[in-house]
Amino acid sequence: MKKCHKCKTESPLEKISFREECPVCGYDLHVCLNCMFYDTGKANSCREDQTDYVKEKDRANYCEYFRFVDDAPKKSGKEEAGELWDTLFKKSS
């Protein structure tokens, strides 16, 4: 699920252009806050070390490394392991 950082509305768009806006709130979508590389613990708040510095993380930018963060619910390692176990050792009825 790709969601707008501001209004949390799911975006139906597959590819986000540099000037793309949320159809609901009009907020820019191609922003650092929506990027999978955004990390406040890293230099320039970005895990991609080859990017140019972006001062305003909540404004549209022209970063070529932008990848829309996918907020799909993630399963814990235990849940995934349990599902794999059940699949591998499924009992025949």
Count CB neighbours of 40 within 10 A.
Answer: 7
Instruction: Give DSSP secondary structure letters for 5-67.
Output: TTT-PBP--SS--TT-B-TTT--BSSSGGGBTTB-TTSGGGBS-TTSPP-S-TTS----TT--
Q: What is the pLDDT of residues 17-68, one digit of tens each?
A: 999 999 899 999 999 999 999 999 988 899 998 999 999 999 999 999 999 9
The answer to whether residue 71 scores a pLDDT higher than 60 is: yes
